Amino acid sequence: MSDADSRPLPDPYFKHHVFFCCNQRSDGRASCEDHGASALRDYCKQKVKKAAITGIGRARVNQAGCLDRCEQGPVMVVYPEGVWYRYGSEADVDEIVAEHLLKGQPVSRLRI
């Protein structure tokens, strides 16, 4: 075991773990991907990286499979708080990054 392996890990492993539903249903039902979820996830990843808040003990942005709320989509959820958002634009993502991920204040107007 190396010294790096013996260091205690932060709790939680990520301060904020953001999951974007990027599901595309094939049966005609509403899907988050119908609203550009993957592109907005990529945009969020760039914003988080630019803000230098990525990595262990900080923030992580991931794609998720279906989060089963596509009819309200596009949706994302931020853990460990379990805060669900409906977002529709880069401006919404900017607000979530600035307020929730950087300041720890959930964005009330986008919560579902």
The answer on pLDDT for 11 being more than 90 is no
pLDDT digits (tens, 9 = 90+) for 14-60: 999 999 999 998 998 999 999 999 999 999 999 999 999 999 999 99
| Residue 84 belongs to a domain | yes
CATH of the domain at 104: 3.40.30.10
Work out how many domains the chain is built from and give that number: 1
| Residue 2 belongs to a domain | no
Q: Nearest-5° angle of CA 81, CA 4, CA 11?
A: 15
| Residue 78 belongs to a domain | yes
| Residue 69 belongs to a domain | yes
At residue 73, the pLDDT reads 85
Q: Residue 21: what are its φ and ψ, rounded to 5°?
A: -70, 120
Q: What is the dihedral of CA 63, 66, 71, 74, to 10 degrees?
A: 0
Locate 57 and state its tokens: 């003990």
Q: Provide the domain limits for residue 60.
A: 9-110
| Residue 3 belongs to a domain | no
pLDDT digits (tens, 9 = 90+) for 57-96: 999 999 998 999 989 989 999 999 999 999 999 999 999 9
| Residue 94 belongs to a domain | yes
| Residue 1 belongs to a domain | no
